Amino acid sequence: MELPDIEVDFSKFPKVKTVALVTDSNVDRLYGDAAVRRIETSGLRVERIVFPAGERSKTLETYAELVRGFAALGMTRTDIAVALGGGVVGDLTGFAAATYMRGIDYVQVPTTLLAMVDSSIGGKTGVDIPEGKNLVGAFHLPSQIVRNVGFLATLPEREMKNGFAELIKTAILFDPELFAALSPRPSLDALAPLVERCARWKEKVVAADFREGGRRKLLNLGHTFGHAIESASSFRLSHGEAVAVGMRIVGRNVPEIGAILDEYGFPQVDDVFSEPLNLTQDDLRGYLANDKKRSGETITLVVPKRIGECELKDIPMSELDAWLK
């Protein structure tokens, strides 16, 4: 594959000598060689570290391979890591960079739509452990994020929809114009300004509220039910599909929400409770009770009032069933 431009500004790192280019097996096959050549033209030593693609690589073991890889390359505090890939690559590279020598700089080059608008922004890094997803991690902001929608030409449709669910979420939260621009579904050519606009919103929220006190909670729109559905389905539903159903559940009073999710072909609420998934309300209740966002007997839901305006509502756990009806 021809390499979309990777416009990393290495002059921001005056003392860098070695760049660790971290990527997964899929992205490496498509873009690895070209990316190495591109970074070498900046006169830097580039060393590639590749791990198998997929969420199953987001482990302490892969993390250990990365930091030991950095050490084996003799990287110092002024060297940098470049994360070329989706959210898994970004989270792992960010966590390795956060902790190697107590913190080195890293650059995000997101290659999935989801990573471009969501996971590359905000500095959340980490890995999964058998006890739960993202249970080990650190806040470590990337020094640069280089977005190029050219990478999306090779991205599978299921992964594209994961990203669109997050774009739709941001539009519902903050931006009626973005919402309008997302319907009908824009082509790749039209996507760059929408990706930038969505990313700006997330940056704004995160900057105002770095460690998730108030406003950052809004970004959980669709995610409280979404995470429960995703887990209860044993990940047969993708993140985007599950969040879309979550947005349908809390967005029932705003008909445009159901309408746009229909347009993209996201599942209906009923699909979750019927063949082949057959989840029950009990299944979901179990996961909701363990939600990180629960405090005591209430859980905070993000509830749309209209496109561009949502509110945080504390709901007693005992009332959750009514939402699932």
For ligand ADP, the closer CB: 196 or 297: 196
Closest CB 92 distance from ligand ADP, rounded Å: 9
Interface with ligand ADP includes 82 (CB under 6 A)?
no
- The packing angle between helices 255-263 and 239-250, to 10°, is 160
Interface with ligand ADP includes 55 (CB under 6 A)?
yes
Task: Pick the stretch among 112-120, 135-143, 249-257, 258-266 that binds ligand ADP (CB under 6 A).
Answer: 112-120
Closest CB 135 distance from ligand ADP, rounded Å: 17
Task: Give the separation between CA 283 and CA 279, rounded to whole angstroms.
Answer: 6
| Burial annotation 57-79 (CB, 10 A radius, 16+ → b, else e) | bbbeebbebbbebbeeeebeeeb
Residues in contact with ligand ADP, counted by CB under 6 A, come to a total of: 22
Interface with ligand ADP includes 151 (CB under 6 A)?
yes
Question: What residues are paired with 278 via a beta bridge?
Answer: none
Interface with ligand ADP includes 114 (CB under 6 A)?
yes
Amino acid at 34: A
- Which one among 93, 162, 170, 233 touches ligand ADP, defined by CB under 6 A? 162
Interface with ligand ADP includes 88 (CB under 6 A)?
yes
Task: Give the separation between CA 103 and CA 92, rounded to whole angstroms.
Answer: 14
Per the annotation, the verdict on 124 as an active-site residue is yes
Q: Quick one: CA torsion of 247, 250, 254, 256, rounded to 10 degrees? A: 10
Structure token pair of residue 44: 């830097």
Closest CB 166 distance from ligand ADP, rounded Å: 10
* Catalytic (active-site) positions: 102, 124, 166, 202, 212, 216, 220, 223, 227, 239
